[in-house]
């Protein structure tokens, strides 16, 4: 299994009066090349679960293994390294730097790797063409439409060629047709052997033919797992 979570808990502000148990006793496995959709109401723990899988933070307790590496209780330095090597993260609100061009935004993950500007642009060009926004390469991110921003965000998530794509509500700000296009684009990554874990309220996402499994969350617990097809 590419991703294995065993009895994972995530508690915010542990021991404080405002303690929140965001995840409780999560057991989840995701195979390589699988596309998993997390569903659940707001506050059910979808984003927290994606953040644990995305190596953004460690679980409070339990055992989490991503790509064969145990990430539970890892120092920040190693989490960052694993995130860089294993994970492409797509945000609900795109999280592009508005003052940078699309090209600069997309190549940000490559800067600490010491990749030369020429090679960075070449890598970005290939992705931008594939995602059909090559003509917006030199546009400032603030000038892009929602659909273009999400395509750019996908390009940024893919630039390191990570085996796992984590997408948090990737279609939340897009209309039906655009949302479908984005899900199609994400689903295409399966063909390259990538594993996708995404969260969405949108039934069109969970009902997408390429989605292998829908995992429902409620109050920080997995309430059901349904394999598609």
Shortest distance in whole angstroms from residue 118 CB to other proteins? 11
Whats the size of the chain, residue-wise? 229
Considering beta carbons, is residue 75 or 209 the nearer one to other proteins? 75
Considering beta carbons, is residue 161 or 224 the nearer one to other proteins? 161
Shortest distance in whole angstroms from residue 172 CB to other proteins? 14
Considering beta carbons, is residue 43 or 212 the nearer one to other proteins? 43
Which SS3 state, helix, strand or coil, does residue 135 take?
Answer: helix
Shortest distance in whole angstroms from residue 212 CB to other proteins? 25
Closest by alpha carbon to 211, among 222, 192, 227?
A: 227
DSSP 66-129: ETTEE-TT--HHHHHHHHHHHEEEE-TT----TTSBHHHHHHGGGGGGT--HHHHHHHHHHHHH
Please state, in angstroms and rounded to a whole number, the distance separating the CA atoms of residues 43 and 22.
8
Please state, in angstroms and rounded to a whole number, the distance separating the CA atoms of residues 122 and 74.
34
Considering beta carbons, is residue 137 or 208 the nearer one to other proteins? 137
Shortest distance in whole angstroms from residue 126 CB to other proteins? 19
Q: Using CB atoms within 10 Å of the CB of residue 130, give its burial: 0 to 12 exposed, 13 to 18 middle, 19+ buried.
A: middle
Q: Which residues bind other proteins (CB under 8 A)?
A: 47, 51, 56-57, 76-77, 79-81, 83-84, 89, 91, 95, 97, 99, 104, 108-117, 156, 160, 168
Considering beta carbons, is residue 160 or 213 the nearer one to other proteins? 160
Shortest distance in whole angstroms from residue 207 CB to other proteins? 26
């Amino acid at each position: 299994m590419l991703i294995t979570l065993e009895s994972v808990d995530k508690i915010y502000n542990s021991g404080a009066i405002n303690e929140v148990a965001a995840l409780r006793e999560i057991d989840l496995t995701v195979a390589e090349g699988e596309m998993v959709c997390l569903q659940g109401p707001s506050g059910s723990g979808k984003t927290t679960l994606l953040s644990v899988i995305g190596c953004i933070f460690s679980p409070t307790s339990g055992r989490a293994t991503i790509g064969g590496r145990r990430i539970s209780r890892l120092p920040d330095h190693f989490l960052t390294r694993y995130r860089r090597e294993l994970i492409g993260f797509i945000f609900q609100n795109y999280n592009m730097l508005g003052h940078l061009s699309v090209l600069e935004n997309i190549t940000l993950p490559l800067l600490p790797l010491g990749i030369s500007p020429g090679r960075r642009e070449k890598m970005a060009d290939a992705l931008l063409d594939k995602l059909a926004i090559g003509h917006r390469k030199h546009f400032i991110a603030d000038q892009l439409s929602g659909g273009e921003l999400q395509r750019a965000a996908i390009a940024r998530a893919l630039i390191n060629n990570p085996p796992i794509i984590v997408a948090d509500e990737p279609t939340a700000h897009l209309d039906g047709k655009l949302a479908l296009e984005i899900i199609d684009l994400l689903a295409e990554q399966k063909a390259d052997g990538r594993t996708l874990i995404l969260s969405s309220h949108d039934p069109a996402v969970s009902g997408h033919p390429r989605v292998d499994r829908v995992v429902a969350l409620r109050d920080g617990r997995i309430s059901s797992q349904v394999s598609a097809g």
